[in-house]
């Protein structure tokens, strides 16, 4: 039986690395995984983990693929010996944290290039063949930051909102071709994401006014609290990718956690945005955690307080 050929971007760490391992070591042995990395010098952790997990020979291959470079994407595609990719996982991404006014143009451009244009480049490289073969699955790592605006994450959220529009548009078009697009919407996940933020960990603050700096400190305390309470391990998130992959009729969105669905619903039920903006502002910037009550968010039906996520 032909194996399912999977190509994943951004496998040096985090979700991409764990998904590559999970599929390559699947007991069914039905996956051939091309784990791609921006820089192959970073392949050590994946290689070592594959050895210790006992991934069967030939189940996992590493390729260089920088989503900012169309030639690199094309070269990776050419190295897929099966001549086809059944499942494409667009996972590569980078964060950017801090007040918008102090973000350097280079950093803004780089995050948009990786997260938005990079995903477009990858899709452009692989979709035509899927359409021609009238078969294919596309999984894209989405974020709560693509479903709701988060303070100090404006550019990152802009990039992830763009991904929502990109995927939703393709999901409408592609079913007649037998191609299905799904977003795996992640809440906070314990990965290297915070350390690998564009411009370095901690976020850019130089040049921000005192009041904004104070709000940023509150945001950071909130983020720590939310990670402490709600962060998932990448292994848990990869199971959601598998659920999407196994579905005979894939949905557009899968959620790694239900914790933030009340906020997603709030944005839809009050399209003016007033409820969401007020609730998120209170949740992030309230002086005391006790102020973040369910009542503050519009009633118990809204569930636990919201979080600022990636």
Ligand X SMILES: NC(=O)c1ccc[n+]([C@@H]2O[C@H](COP(=O)([O-])OP(=O)(O)OC[C@H]3O[C@@H](n4cnc5c(N)ncnc54)[C@H](OP(=O)(O)O)[C@@H]3O)[C@@H](O)[C@H]2O)c1
Cβ of residue 166: shortest distance to ligand X, in angstroms?
Answer: 13
Distance, C-alpha 121 to centroid of its chain: 16
Q: Would you say 293 is a known binding-site residue?
A: no
Considering 156, 219, 254, 276, which one is annotated as catalytic? 156
The contact pattern for ligand X, residues 245-264, with x = CB under 6 A and - = no contact, is --------------------
Whether residue 9 contacts residue 91, with contact meaning beta carbons closer than 8 Å, is answered with yes
Active site residue 156: yes
Work out which of 4, 93, 280, 305 binds ligand X, going by CB under 6 A.
93
Q: Is 23 annotated as a binding residue?
A: yes
203 dihedral zone (left: phi>0; alpha: psi -120 to 50; beta): left
Phi first, then psi, for residue 231 (nearest 5°) are -65, 145
Contact between 188 and ligand X by CB under 6 A: the answer reads yes
Name residue, tokens 């969401």.
276
Mark the segment that binds ligand X (CB under 6 A) among 20-28, 34-42, 128-136, 174-182: 34-42
Output b/e per residue, 90-115; b: 16+ Cβ within 10 A. Answer: bbbbbbbbbbeebbeeebbebbbbbb
By the rule CB under 6 A, 153 interacts with ligand X: no
200: enclosing H helix or E strand: none
Which of 117, 294 has the CB closer to ligand X?
117
| Positive or negative torsion for Cα 68, 36, 238, 124 | positive
Q: Does 143 bind ligand X (CB under 6 A)?
A: yes
Piece of the chain touching ligand X by CB under 6 A; list 59-67, 218-226, 242-250, 290-298:
59-67
In the complex, minimum distance from the CB of residue 163 to ligand X, in angstroms, rounded to a whole number = 8
Backbone angles phi, psi at 205, to 5 degrees: -135, -15
Residues that bind ligand X (CB under 6 A): 9-16, 38-39, 42, 65-68, 91-94, 114, 118, 141, 143, 186, 188-189, 191-193, 196, 309-310
Q: Binding-site residues, please?
A: 10-38, 66, 143, 160
């Amino acid at each position: 039986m032909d194996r399912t050929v999977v190509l994943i971007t951004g496998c040096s760490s985090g979700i991409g690395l764990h998904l590559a391992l999970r599929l390559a070591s699947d007991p069914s042995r039905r996956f051939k995984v091309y784990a791609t990395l921006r820089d192959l010098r970073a392949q050590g952790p994946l290689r070592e983990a594959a050895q210790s997990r006992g991934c069967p020979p030939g189940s996992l291959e590493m390729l260089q693929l920088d989503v900012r470079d169309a030639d690199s994407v094309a070269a990776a595609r050419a190295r897929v010996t099966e001549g086809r990719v059944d499942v494409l996982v667009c996972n590569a991404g980078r964060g950017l944290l801090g007040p918008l006014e102090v973000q350097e143009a280079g950093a803004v451009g780089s995050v948009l290039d990786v997260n938005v244009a990079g995903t477009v480049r990858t899709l452009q490289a692989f979709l035509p063949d899927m359409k021609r073969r009238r078969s294919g699955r596309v999984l894209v790592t989405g974020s709560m930051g693509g479903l709701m605006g988060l303070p100090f994450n404006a550019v990152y959220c802009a990039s992830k909102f763009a991904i929502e529009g990109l995927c939703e548009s393709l999901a409408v078009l592609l079913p007649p071709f037998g191609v299905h697009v799904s977003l795996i919407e992640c809440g906070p996940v314990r990965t290297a994401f915070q350390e690998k933020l564009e411009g370095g960990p901690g976020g850019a603050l130089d040049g921000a006014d005192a009041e904004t700096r104070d709000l940023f400190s509150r945001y950071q305390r909130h983020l720590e609290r939310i990670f402490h309470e709600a962060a998932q391990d990448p292994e848990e998130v990869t199971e959601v990718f598998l659920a999407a992959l196994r579905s005979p009729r894939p949905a557009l969105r899968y959620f790694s956690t239900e914790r933030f669905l009340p906020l997603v619903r709030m944005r839809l039920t009050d399209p003016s945005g007033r409820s969401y903006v007020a609730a998120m502002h209170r949740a992030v910037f309230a002086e005391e955690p006790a102020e973040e009550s369910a009542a503050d968010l519009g009633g118990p039906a809204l569930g636990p307080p919201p979080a600022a996520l990636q």
